[in-house]
Chains A and B, each alone.
Chain A
Amino acid sequence: MANELVNRPEFIREELDQAFGVVEKPLTLSEKVFNIGAVRKALLLILLATIWEIYARSLNNPLLFPTFGATVQAFIEGIVSGGLLTKATYSVKVLLMGYFAGLSLAATLTIFAITTRAGADFLETLTSMFNPLPAIALLPLALIWFGLGNGSIVFVLIHSVLWAVALNTHSGFMSVSTTLRMVGKNYGLGGLRYVSKILIPAAFPSILTGLKVGWAFAWRTLIAAELVFGVSSGSGGLGWFIYENKNNLEIPSVFAGLFSVILIGLFVENLIFRNIESATVRKWGMQQ
């Protein structure tokens, strides 16, 4: 019968095997090298560049799709002749202005939102209204309000950063555990000290995501705004560099312009944000 238990003898092993070899074995050099994320990503980039080069050569139409080599050459020429570097610096400067203005507004709004119920309603309503609105759609209006200049670009940048950051920060604050909140209150924290000592560090993973998303939104908006803006203004950043070179049919330079946008993006993501992450949320075990 199936419901009868099988009878087995008990046993105890007095001596255990010693033949299992080493318990902990160091990884080989190739395994260690391959464990470094930067190495894996660099290999991937080399592969992509090779595919690009092969495809562009087989296409053999530098007007439509220049080779990787030609793009790098145009990029170096752009830097040496000075045009690309000044334009990139110009873009980054405007970007930082808009980014930090957006961040401080987002901070004000979220602090208002967690301290009062009216503030929370205000933030939720505004976020759901303005978050889906593409920043670039506000550019025509901005041009009328602020004229042809950095004012308009900073305005649309603020719009693109503010809602993404505020939304993430606020949802981060909302998800701070009741226990941590009670601990903060227990030791007599209140007001801004409570926000800065409990809420901000506890919500830091979400805040960091907000900062990253905000940064990416700002970049996109900036380049798009400069493309539109460049038409009517002589001075300009990377977007204008791209637009100008397209008009001159300098397609490798157009690619070089896009290339620098990508490079700056990679730099910020992999060096700045990655280092902030490993010094904070990863060290604290709040993120793997």
Chain B
Amino acid sequence: MISPTPLLSVDGVSLQYKTKQSLVTATYRVSFDVYPSDRFILLGPSGCGKSTLLKAIGGYLNPVEGAIRLKGQEVKKPGPDRVMVFQEFDQLLPWKTVKQNVMFALESSGKLRGKAAEEKALHYIDKVNLSRFANSYPHQLSGGMKQRVAIARGMAMEPDVLLMDEPFAALDALTRRKMQDEVLRLWEETKFTVLFVTHSIPEAVKIGNRILLLSPHPGQVKAELNSDGVDMPGPDGQKLSDKIHNMLFIDEVEDQEVIHG
């Protein structure tokens, strides 16, 4: 059952950012709603503004048009109710151990202190199977382990929505698949709401229950699709991943026609 009020609503959001040479419009009037416990995917080719959109939801960037609301409150600046998990491995503080990294998040945000923070940190570190490494420093971990710590840190905060910005893009294919399974397993346990940015169609189909497809330059909503994670051929005889692939592929052809025409 889906509750009738959205947890997060993105309403006609246009985003712009300045580079040294020009003002770039990243997204144009994008709207979508995320409901509690959604595994909501933002999918699109590079240049569709999906990462910029996630940053705006994180509060790092304010829309020039439209509004982002979390539980009815407009998002204005970064806050611990929306925790980001980044693609980069350097999101962990290198001067803190795994446990201290998770505790740092809880304590800095004023959520928990001392013993309570430590217990919660260890609980979530155990959830991502890193208990043995609780006292290791990030530089002693592999890339996949670092991302698991980042996920544990995000989940320990128990935010309204977890924002994941291509968290597995820098991992090798094997580790990547393991991490996807792990995210799904964690979701089964706690049913957290997650907004997941990716440019990989198989990843989107596997992880998401709802997929928002964005077209590039500037990012606009192309489609919003449901996924059951198995990617079997639907009533129209088409697999979901093929359907998505065709939509993105047609975009490319149109682009080239514009360039050549």
Q: Note whether A and B form a binding pair.
A: yes
B110 near A188 with CB under 8 A, answer yes
Q: How many A residues touch the partner, as a band?
A: 20 to 34
CB pair A285–B139 under 8 Å, yes or no, is: yes
Complex CA distance for A201 and B91, rounded to whole angstroms: 14
Are A187 and B105 neighbours in the complex by a CB distance under 8 Å? yes
B90 lies within 8 A of chain A by Cβ: yes
**Which interface class (under 10, 10 to 19, 20 to 34, 35 or more) fits B?**
20 to 34
B94 touches A284 (CB 8 A): yes
Question: Which one of B42-50, B79-87, B174-182, B225-233 contacts A?
Answer: B79-87
Q: Which of B84, B88, B139, B140 contacts A177 (CB 8 A)?
A: B88
Contacting B at CB under 8 A, from A168-190, are 177, 179-180, 182-189
B93 part of interface (Cβ distance < 8 Å): yes
* A residues in contact with B77, CB < 8 Å: 185
Measured in the bound complex, the distance between the Cα atoms of B136 and A284 in whole Å is 10
Measured between beta carbons, the chain A residues less than 8 angstroms from B86 are 179, 182-183
Task: Check A280 against B95 for contact (C-beta < 8 Å).
Answer: yes
Q: Is the interface of A mostly helix, strand, loop or mixed?
A: helix
Known A177-B88, A179-B90: A187·B95 in contact at CB below 8 Å:
no
- Known contacts A284-B139, A285-B139; A204 and B95 CB within 8 A of each other: yes
Closest Cβ of chain A to B149, distance in Å, is: 12
Is there an interface contact between A185 and B108, defined as CB atoms closer than 8 Å? no
Chain A residue nearest in CB terms to B91: A179
Q: Does B208 sit at the interface, judged by CB under 8 A?
A: no
B residues 124-167 near A (Cβ < 8 Å) are 137-140, 157
A285 to B89, CA, bound (A): 14
Cβ-based interface call for B36 (8 A): no
Interface string of B55-96 (1 = CB under 8 A from A): 000101000000000000000011110111010101101110
Cβ–Cβ < 8 Å partners of A180 in chain B: 90-91, 93
Q: Within 8 Å of chain B (Cβ to Cβ): is A93?
A: no
B5 within 8 A of A: no
Q: How far is the CB of B51 from chain A (nearest CB, A)?
A: 12
Interface flag for A220 (CB, 8 Å): no
- Distance of A283 Cα from B100 Cα, bound (Å): 14
Extra contacts besides A182-B86, A193-B108, A286-B94 (12): CB < 8 Å: A179-B86, A182-B58, A182-B78, A182-B84, A184-B108, A186-B82, A186-B84, A187-B108, A201-B95, A284-B137, A284-B139, A285-B139
* Interface set of A (CB-CB < 8 Å, partner B): 177, 179-180, 182-189, 193, 197-198, 201-202, 204, 280, 283-286
Q: Considering the complex of A and B, which 5 residue pairs feature the smallest CB-CB distances, nearest first? A: A285-B139, A187-B108, A185-B78, A201-B95, A179-B88
